[in-house]
Structure 1
């Protein structure tokens, strides 16, 4: 039987021979991790078997790099990967751990059995419910919470989720609401943030969402991030970096001079309305460039005039700034392109 594909996306990987870090396209299946030089490549650069492998996270082997995790094979070969942001790292960790666990138990990969364990009715559409919860006008309101000497951005509390489900007549009582919310958590639509909610999700045989005011969660594809408190002596951040992060992740970007395509990490902020892009293999100290989005236009496109067909194909979009500078980008999937376009469009209208 063909291996079941579980997750795919961009990660930064340390070379096994050279010490250089490079962006690769990673595909997680139920029995291994394959990595490719480019998303369009048909043959992988390498494959890491998961049977008997161990995963180390957090990985402290590199003092200047955060969000690193390590996969060690049965032959004691270490493979280091780095995610571009916290939410991205956590979903990779969760699925890799689950894949290793299923292999050890001789089971087929499955995220924690939502419907059987909590008797979730077959008529409940969790994907549809998730879309409703994310609605900016009528959904669960994201907020900023200061807790555990850190600031959690774009998150919400467990009891807020239950309150929303009841008030929107999706659940008759808190027990039913908890069943639905736990289903969303087990299926990966919601993610735990903070020690309390993470312990509840990972400590038991089945994940459980906590109906508590101090249990924090976030939407899987939101702009969630957390940071430590800064001191009064810290240098004031540049004006263009003051906005809250709305969305972040890797995209392919076409260069303005050579017209070649490279994977860049993008961070979208709301006010002022900027999107910054970085070398994903390095830190976020200095961006490679920024796009001021106020008054810009963003649209999906079918092709790029100067791009070769084999370089890039599909899920393209274009940003045209107010000074008529054109930026061509490619998302990994059609859904991801739709989300980036919607977020950029909103920021371009509302941000300064």
Structure 2
């Protein structure tokens, strides 16, 4: 019998020979991971066996990249993957770990119940802690703070993080809270926002998160942006980033000029209504473009003009902006296409 397919989608992977990072189509099955250059290819470019493999997440081998995890095979081959955001990484890690555990026990793959226990775990789970910190009512409040002629939006101070951990009985004292906060920073849940916090994170000290009122940080999945840069481009763009992040992830996008298809990371924000896209192999500071969604029409389509059949097939949708620009995308699955269309339609109607 063929191994059962568990999960598929885009991830960024580090090359095994060269150090370049590239977006690949990844298919997780019960006994291994197939790597495809394109989803429509006839054969995979590689295969990673999961029997006796070890998964490390989060992986700190590449400090300037967030949401990285590592798979080390039984033959000591290391494979590094990067997700576009926290929830995506956690979803992949959970299923891969489960597949490895089932192989070890000689069982068929089955997802565990996602119901959470009322009892707190004996050891701190940083993923759960991060979710609690993001809680709108009881979590850390995101503020607009001004430092050195710059305005930092959706951020907070290192001291605020430490205070919250103590007030919520997550830590007994400031040194213990600082250790937890440093773990959150090291694993990419928190990001440094200003010069002081960035210097602290890069300084290699025992505690890279600073318990200081001038050290600024932000949540990895927040709508953080900074005002006050001198370039005209920053002045134009800053308004676009005020909205909350509604959805993010990878899609295939057709280029406007060459009509070729490339994997892009998309971040959808609600007010103002924008979707920004990036090269997923680079950081979010390298934006490739944005689409203003107010008044746009978003529909599922069955074919795309100028697209060859072998380039894309299925799960296509189109955005037509209010100034009659056409953008074509391909989602990884029928369900994902529905989710993207619904989210973009909502933002296009409610955002300004």
Taking the TM superposition and a 5 Å limit, the aligned residue runs for 1:236-255 are 236=227, 238-255=238-255
1:135 corresponds to: none
Looking at structure 1, the residues matched to 317 and 349 of structure 2 have their Cα atoms a distance apart, in angstroms, of 18
SS at match of 2:256: coil
Q: Structure 2: where are the runs of 5+ without partners?
A: 116-133, 144-153, 155-164, 166-187, 195-213, 217-225, 228-236
Q: Which runs of 4+ in 1 moved over 4 A?
A: 148-151, 225-234
Aligned to 1:330: 330
Offset, 1:107: 1.0
Kindly indicate whether residue 136 of structure 2 is the aligned counterpart of residue 144 of structure 1: yes
Contact 1:273/1:347 (CA < 8 Å) preserved in 2? Answer: yes
User: Which residue is 1:54 aligned to?
Assistant: 54
Q: Deviations over 1:129-154 (max 9, x none)?
A: xxxxxxxxxxxxx9635647989x9x
Partner in structure 2 of residue 125 of structure 1: none
The aligned runs of 1:330-349 (5 Å cut-off) are 330-349=330-349
The structure-2 alpha-carbon separation of the partners of 1:144 and 1:4, relative to structure 1 and needing over 3 Å to count, comes to same
TM-score in terms of structure 1 length: 0.68
Rate the CA distance shift 1:327–1:113 in 2: closer, same or farther, 3 A: closer
2:98 aligns to what SS in structure 1? helix
Instruction: Decide whether the 8 Å contact of 1:150 with 1:226 is kept in 2.
Output: no
Q: Is contact 1:149-1:228 (8 Å) kept?
A: no
Check conservation: 1:149, 1:229, Cα contact below 8 A.
no
Change (3 A) 1:149 1:255: same
Q: Deviations over 1:284-333 (max 9, x none)?
A: 01210000001111111111111111111111111111111110111111
- Looking at structure 1, the residues matched to 46 and 142 of structure 2 have their Cα atoms a distance apart, in angstroms, of 38
Distance in 2 (alpha carbons) for counterparts of 1:112 and 1:336: 22
Partner of 2:67: 67
1:38-75 CA-to-partner distances (Å, cap 9, x unmatched) read 01112111111111100011111111111110000111
**Number of aligned residue pairs:** 257
Indicate the RMSD between aligned Cα atoms, in angstroms: 2.7
Q: 1:281 to 1:146 in 2, by over 3 A?
A: farther
CA contact (8 A) 2:279 2:286 kept: no
Give the TM-score taking structure 2 as reference length.
Answer: 0.68
